[in-house]
């Protein structure tokens, strides 16, 4: 019975270590931005994310199609992006095109390196969604 407890303890420790390493990798990236989305009641919800630039736009990536921040922008595309100490009002546009999504994956890999490789272990590559940020345009 003692062997079972030790095995379970080791498994739990390994799982906790894996989760901790994913969190450290995601927070240790080259650039972290704060995306402020708004829930159904209009209250802001902050999410820390990686960002890349392509074609004159900032791009984010939802690693899983059911992430909370992605659901909130689908309900309300008006967001605020805090980047380099500045906050801007933006409009978030999910882009589900596989070619565009794969381009954003490649840019994330280029910018964030091994951290992206490690975080990708829990990402749904085929189901992830690229999100383009556009100026809010006078809102």
Q: What tokens appear for 116 in the block?
A: 């992206």
86 DSSP β-pair partners: 83
Count CB-CB contacts under 10 A for residue 137. 8
State the CATH number of the domain containing residue 64. Answer: 2.30.110.10
For 75-132, the pLDDT digits (tens) are 999 999 999 999 999 999 999 999 988 999 999 999 998 887 777 776 667 788 999 9
**Cα distances (Å, whole numbers) of residue 53 to 11, 42, 106, 133:** 40, 28, 12, 10
pLDDT band at 21 (very low <50, low <70, confident <90, very high): very low
77: number of Cβ within 10 Å: 17
Q: What is the dihedral of CA 52, 53, 55, 61, to 10 degrees?
A: 30
Q: Which two tokens stand for residue 124?
A: 């749904």
Cα→Cα distances 26→1, 41, 83, 95, 123, Å: 38, 29, 16, 22, 12
Mean pLDDT of the 23-42 span: 76
- With CA atoms as reference, report the closest residue to 46 among 61, 68, 21: 68
Global pTM?
0.77
**Which domain covers residue 79, as residue numbers?**
2-135
Q: For the chain, what is the domain count?
A: 1
Rounded CA separation 54/124 (Å): 22
Tens-place pLDDT, residues 42-76: 999 999 999 999 999 999 999 887 899 999 999 99
């Amino acid at each position: 019975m003692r062997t079972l407890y030790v095995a379970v303890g080791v498994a739990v420790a390994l799982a906790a270590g894996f989760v901790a390493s994913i969190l450290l990798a995601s927070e240790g990236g080259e650039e972290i931005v704060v995306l402020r989305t708004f829930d159904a009641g209009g209250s802001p919800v902050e999410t820390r994310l990686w960002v890349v630039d392509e074609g004159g736009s900032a791009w984010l990536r939802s690693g899983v199609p059911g992430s909370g921040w992605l659901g909130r922008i689908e309900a309300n595309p008006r967001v605020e992006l805090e980047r380099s100490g500045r906050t801007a009002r933006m409009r978030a546009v999910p882009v589900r095109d596989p070619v565009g999504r794969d381009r954003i994956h490649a840019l994330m890999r280029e910018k964030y390196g091994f951290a992206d490789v490690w975080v990708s272990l829990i990402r749904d590559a085929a189901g992830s969604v690229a999100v383009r940020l556009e100026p809010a345009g006078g809102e």
